[in-house]
Amino acid sequence: MDRVALRGLKARGHHGVFPQEREEGQTFIVDVVLGLDTRPAAADDDLAKTVHYGIVAEEVVALVQGDPVDLVETLAERIAQACLQHEGVQEVEVCVHKPDAPITVPFDDVTVTITRSRA
């Protein structure tokens, strides 16, 4: 299976369990790796036979900016399901970064990574 990756998609969202997270929001960063067969697109040099990663990027950002959820896991699942709606995408790995998570000790990042497939 071939992979098309989008890394470092940034958007402001209001996700989290604490009132301050919901009110003020914070930046989320999303990495998406789409699994699909790119051979038909390559053979015909035809965008219609692959996934349009620009559209996927816009959809991911819209989900981050959209309706708030308590858990990063829920946001990752929503993103994965949206990606699987694209014809040809058989599998997706989604990693949601929450670098400004409300943690009381020094840290670099918090991530939730999920893998989903059509099967």
* Residues that are catalytic: 98
Closest-CA residue to 90 (of 67, 117, 65): 117
Helix (H) or strand (E) holding 33: strand 26-36
Tokens representing residue 6 in the block: 């989008």
Tokens representing residue 59 in the block: 């959809």
Measured between its terminal Cα atoms, the distance across the chain in Å is: 14
CA distance 105 to 101: 11
